[in-house]
């Protein structure tokens, strides 16, 4: 291939810029030019792209977000959107495409592959809900952000003897909440797979106070069918011994400089994806298998759902004693 394309799509994740850098420079090392589409699939459909050189990606590996910008593109799920994307690739003389993004982005890549486009995906999503990889880009950075925030909340929680209801991102996977519960010492973790009532949460928090604890954290994934404000209200009216407060970490979890782990993973996946594309592979994505970066089938990745294991919820409960 003389020219490959790259785009970032869906929700941004720390490590996307590092992956872009790796794609551009590894392609250049093999004599291929990189064409960058802006604003994800929207930019692809509208034909908004440009040549991006190894010098253009200097000084970006430590930056959060994505220099190519990103967007969610419902039009990509329509026949007309897919046709427009195919025309744009042809007009741009792009012979293969690397897509960096989450589960919806991988489905878009799989759809393009079904139309004969050579496509390789790089999973980037703080939700860690993409099947075929142990970790997606951005997960470790988001966990570090959550950890730093909760460590700071612990200071005020202990000072005022408070129970904090902390809502994390993560959509339906609950992975961030589960892992955060272990590394931050939560009394309880509530994920979409956790079967717990508001009353049970109240009893768990009350028992923490009875054991002599000076603070208590309950971490709730945003995809769980429980309202943190409602839980806090129940705790206030139950006389459990703790004051209750709510903190929704929100989109701060997406931002910031990628961690050392994410920079390394993004660099490895960027090189692997580029080499796979230039070596003739298509309809695959890079994935972390143990410590190895390997290729996973995109069709299978798009047809399966990855959910956080309940072992993290169990671990958090065990360690909270």
Which are the catalytic amino acids?
A: 127
Q: Is 57 exposed, middle or buried (0-12, 13-18, 19+ CB in 10 A)?
A: buried
**If DSSP codes are grouped into helix, strand and coil, which group holds residue 287?**
strand
Nearest partner of 242 among 197, 290, 286, 207, judged by Cα:
207
Please list, in sequence order, all residues whose beta carbon lies within 8 angstroms of the beta carbon of residue 100, skipping any fewer than 6 positions away.
6, 7, 8, 9, 16, 19, 20, 66, 121, 122, 124, 137
Point out which residues pair with 8 in neighbouring strands: 100
C-alpha radius of gyration, the chain, whole number = 22
Q: List C-alpha distances in Å: 258 to 67, 137, 273.
A: 14, 9, 19
Please list, in sequence order, all residues whose beta carbon lies within 8 angstroms of the beta carbon of residue 196, skipping any fewer than 6 positions away.
188, 190, 226
Q: List C-alpha distances in Å: 13 to 50, 63, 91, 122, 144.
A: 22, 11, 29, 12, 13
């Amino acid at each position: 291939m003389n020219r490959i394309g790259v785009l970032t799509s869906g929700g941004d994740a720390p490590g996307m810029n590092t992956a872009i850098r790796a794609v551009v420079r590894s392609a250049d090392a093999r004599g291929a030019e990189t064409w960058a589409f802006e604003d994800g699939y929207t930019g692809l459909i509208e034909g908004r792209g440009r040549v991006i050189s190894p010098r253009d990606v200097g000084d970006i590996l430590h930056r959060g977000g994505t220099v190519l910008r990103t967007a969610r593109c419902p039009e990509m799920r329509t026949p007309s959107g897919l046709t427009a994307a195919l025309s744009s690739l042809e007009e741009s003389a792009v012979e293969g495409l690397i897509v960096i993004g989450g589960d919806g982005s991988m489905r878009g890549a799989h759809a393009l592959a079904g139309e004969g486009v050579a496509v390789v995906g790089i999973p980037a999503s703080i939700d860690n809900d993409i099947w075929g990889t142990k970790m997606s880009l951005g997960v470790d950075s988001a966990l570090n952000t959550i950890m730093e925030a909760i460590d700071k909340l612990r200071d005020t929680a202990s000072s005022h003897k408070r129970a904090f209801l902390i809502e994390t991102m993560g959509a339906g996977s609950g992975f961030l909440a589960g892992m955060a519960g272990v590394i931050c010492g939560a009394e309880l973790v509530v994920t979409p797979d956790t079967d717990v009532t508001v009353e049970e949460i109240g009893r768990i928090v009350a028992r923490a106070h009875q054991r002599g604890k000076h603070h208590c954290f309950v971490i709730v994934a945003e995809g769980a069918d429980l309202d943190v404000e409602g839980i806090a209200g129940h705790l206030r009216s139950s006389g459990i011994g703790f004051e209750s407060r709510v903190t929704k970490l929100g989109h701060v979890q997406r931002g910031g400089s990628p961690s050392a782990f994410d920079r390394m993973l993004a660099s490895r996946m960027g090189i692997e994806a580029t080499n796979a594309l230039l070596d003739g592979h298509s309809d695959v994505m890079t994935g972390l298998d143990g410590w190895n970066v390997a290729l996973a089938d995109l069709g299978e990745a798009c047809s399966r759902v990855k959910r956080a294991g309940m072992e993290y919820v169990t671990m958090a409960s065990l360690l909270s004693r």
